[in-house]
Amino acid sequence: MSNSKEQFLKTEFFIFSWKAATEHNLVWNKNTTDKAKGNFRKNIKEFLEDKLSKVYGKRKVTEEEHIANIEELQEKSIELGNRLNFGTCQKLLNMMCKYYWCAGYIKEPPHLPIDSINLKNAGIKGKCWTKDINDKNDYKEIIDVIRKKTGSLSLSEWEIENWKRRNS
């Protein structure tokens, strides 16, 4: 595949992931300018692309490393002046991992995006990924519950097998 086609896909993957991670929760301070939003997204995209190519693209990442990467993404957002909550960070990184994995750019990721679709598919009621995942402990608790539902499939494979777009 040409470099321009690959860059196109990776940019689209970020756009889709960003929208999925931020469309149901407030990410911006009310005084954030469009320029600041653009710069923030650009820096987060560069951070994620670097992490995906240098870490996930080289080897299978452990759960502990993956969770540490979610925390690092959250710290990066704070450093850039716009703190993303843990639920948003896990959704953003996990969506990017899913797209990159399905396209063959990285090894299989250890987790799946925790969102309303996967919570519903796992039979988890009363949890909202945008409000109830405040730290790695909340996240790990939900991952453990979903893992009990996956049978012999990995979390990533289970999600692909059970994924259905809400409005299809």
pLDDT of the chain, 168 residues: tens digit per residue: 789 999 999 999 999 999 999 998 888 888 889 999 999 999 999 999 999 999 999 999 999 999 999 999 999 999 998 999 999 999 999 999 999 999 999 999 999 999 999 999 999 999 899 888 999 999 999 999 999 999 999 999 999 998 766 554
Round to whole Å and give the CA distance between 163 and 160: 5
pLDDT score for 93: 98
3-state secondary structure of 144: helix
pLDDT score for 163: 78
Sign of CA dihedral 145, 150, 153, 156: negative
CB neighbourhood size of 118 (10 A): 22
Round to whole Å and give the CA distance between 154 and 168: 25
Sign of CA dihedral 26, 27, 28, 29: positive
What pTM, to 2 d.p., does this model score? 0.94
pLDDT score for 166: 53
